[in-house]
Amino acid sequence: MSDALRLRGVTVEVGGRLLLDQVSFEVAVGEFCGLCGPNGGGKTTLLKTALGLLTPSAGELTVLGRPPQEARRHVGYLPQAKAFNAGFPASAAELILANQRGAWPVRVSAAGRERARQALARVGGERLLEAPLRALSGGELQRVFLARALVNEPALLLLDEPTAGVDARGRGEFLELLAGVAARADLAAVLVTHNAAAVRRLADRVVYLDGRVLAWGPPAEVLDRKWDREAFGGQDHDSPVSPLCEDDDG
């Protein structure tokens, strides 16, 4: 069985700026990988490359053994910023079905509604089925977008800072939800986060990314490591918890 995500020497440049430099690691089927690093460290760039929205200038990236564009149907994506058109009259059911059909539903059939309800039920959001998206809280929106990401039964789930902007209680609930979702043996996940607690709770492995991979391994080993100056190009990072991952941040 091939890896869910595999990067070998992946380099990505956008507008002449080097965002990823010779990045190599892989995520096995069924594995939950935490992806940490500073802002601008290339975490979201890596997800967008895995989604086929950006093309590497060097190296090779495969998703489920295929080029990213060919594997999209099997990838669930939870974006960081909800950049959707807030004025658009969208309901949760319509959003979920749009991802399933690749087009906005002109009419939501009974079967479609049931499909969307089932997707929402997996994330504890059944009551949100008919809700207009613009009326939802940050936590509720995350549930709906997670249901959207899960509706096609993905083999790889890409989560970009899913608890950013969610209050502490909602954050805890959402992490428990993710833990339940990720328990599926055939589902791999990559979680971009600044939240060390989330990584400790969910991840089998963690990758530190700052343009290049600085470290990777089990969370306990990587998060609690004493960082020396050399590893960070002369910067002082001697906290037991990496400065790239914070315990109390979203």
Which residues, 33 to 92, sit near another protein by CB under 8 A? 51, 53, 72-73, 77, 79, 83-85, 87-91
Interface pick for another protein out of 40, 65, 132, 243 (rule CB under 8 A): 132
CB of 202 to another protein, least distance (A): 23
Please tell me whether residue 159 adopts helix, strand or coil conformation.
strand
CB of 82 to another protein, least distance (A): 8
Q: Which amino acid is at 192?
A: V
Minimum CB distance to another protein smaller for 1 or for 106: 106
Interface pick for another protein out of 94, 140, 161, 210 (rule CB under 8 A): 94
* CA 76/CA 87 separation, integer angstroms: 25
Size of the site for another protein (CB under 8 A): 26
Interface pick for another protein out of 1, 17, 39, 106 (rule CB under 8 A): 106
Crossing angle of helices 92-101 and 138-150, in 10° steps, is 30
Q: Is the dihedral of CA 54, 59, 61, 65 positive or negative?
A: positive
CB of 100 to another protein, least distance (A): 9
Minimum CB distance to another protein smaller for 35 or for 51: 51
**93 close to 127: Cβ distance less than 8 angstroms:** no
Binding pattern to another protein, positions 149-178, x when CB under 8 A? ------------------------------
Interface pick for another protein out of 107, 185, 240, 248 (rule CB under 8 A): 107
CB of 134 to another protein, least distance (A): 11
Distances in whole angstroms, Cα of residue 38 to Cα of each of 44, 153, 161, 209, 211? 11, 31, 12, 8, 9
H runs (alpha helix) in the chain: 43-50, 68-71, 92-101, 110-122, 138-150, 168-182, 196-202, 219-223
129 binds another protein (CB under 8 A): no
Which helix (H) or strand (E) segment holds residue 61: the answer is strand 58-63
17 binds another protein (CB under 8 A): no
Residue whose tokens read 């109390």: 248
Minimum CB distance to another protein smaller for 73 or for 226: 73
Interface pick for another protein out of 7, 95, 136, 209 (rule CB under 8 A): 95
Question: And the tokens for 126?
Answer: 């059944």
* CA 164/CA 4 separation, integer angstroms: 25
96 binds another protein (CB under 8 A): no
Q: Enumerate binding residues for another protein (CB under 8 A).
A: 51, 53, 72-73, 77, 79, 83-85, 87-91, 94-95, 98-99, 101-107, 132
